[in-house]
Amino acid sequence: MNLAVVQMHPAFGEVEINLERICALLDRAEAEVVVFPELALSGYFFTTRHQVEAIALERNSVILNALENTAKRQEKVVVVGFPERDGSRLFNSAVVFDPRGERHYYRKTHLFYREQFVFDEGDTGFFVLDFSWLDVRLGTMICYDWRFPEAARTLALGGADVIACPSNLVTHVWRMAMPVRALENKVYVAVANRIGSESDGTETLSFNGRSAIYNYNGMVITELPPDTEGIATAPIEPTRTRNKSFNSINDIFADRRPWAYRL
């Protein structure tokens, strides 16, 4: 099967335009599982809750329904970041569309920088979805979650073969850590990052692209440039992540010593 990450430049505040572009990119993606960036439907740099409230989507929104119809028509598992409204609460969420079943939602656990002023902390925890007809188990974390190895480890212990990581990365250090999250858990990691910049008038955030897929040895198997939109696709073998040994004696899960760790 193929796994793809999509790199794009969302238009800030333009949900309908972004929906159209996401659907067009999805159409071009030749993969069974396709990962889009964090907040791909809205853009990123919200500086007040009011701004998020004006644009956040409820789960039964027309926009998410339209996206789901496209995912179902194309028979693809699709992960897309969006701002979620649930009553008075606002989340930096990712929806996972299962073309043969229900939708699932991950709400970002670790809020980065000014996200802490405009979003509520995610309450879903980290979970793994089993897409049995593809024989792939998928977990999701969002961007800054990478700084907490417990996030990827929780997904791997939950049986994930692939970690989808919708992102809006503004540093460069993630490129040292993401392959390590893959290696230390023996899983694929798919980082879909955005490009472009956004400003609130006093501060500009630049997003650095280089979306990539890492294999379970932490090697880059496909990667995009820092500044252009595009789709990176790679063939993967999810079942190969399930045996956690890396030589005839060691197994990275069997060798864990939780009694010695402090969380």
* Binding interface with ligand ACM (CB under 6 A): 38, 112, 143-144, 168-170
Q: Answer yes or no: 58 catalytic.
A: no
Nearer to ligand ACM among residue 174 and residue 188 (C-beta) = 174
Min CB(92)–ligand ACM separation in Å: 8
Cα(209)–Cα(225) distance, integer angstroms = 6
Min CB(146)–ligand ACM separation in Å: 8
Q: Answer yes or no: 108 catalytic.
A: yes
Answer whether 8's CB lies under 8 Å from 196's CB. Answer: no
Answer whether 80's CB lies under 8 Å from 92's CB. Answer: no
Min CB(81)–ligand ACM separation in Å: 9
How is 94-126 classified by DSSP, letter by letter?
EEEE-TTS-EEEEE-SS--TTHHHHSPPP-S--
| Catalytic residue selected from 32, 76, 108, 223 | 108
Per-residue CA distances from 35 to 9, 50, 57, 205, 237 (Å): 14, 28, 19, 22, 17
Nearer to ligand ACM among residue 70 and residue 168 (C-beta) = 168
| Catalytic residue selected from 143, 165, 186, 198 | 143
Specify the residue for token string 């069997």.
Answer: 254
Nearer to ligand ACM among residue 110 and residue 186 (C-beta) = 110
Q: Answer yes or no: 143 catalytic.
A: yes
Q: Which residues are catalytic?
A: 38, 108, 143
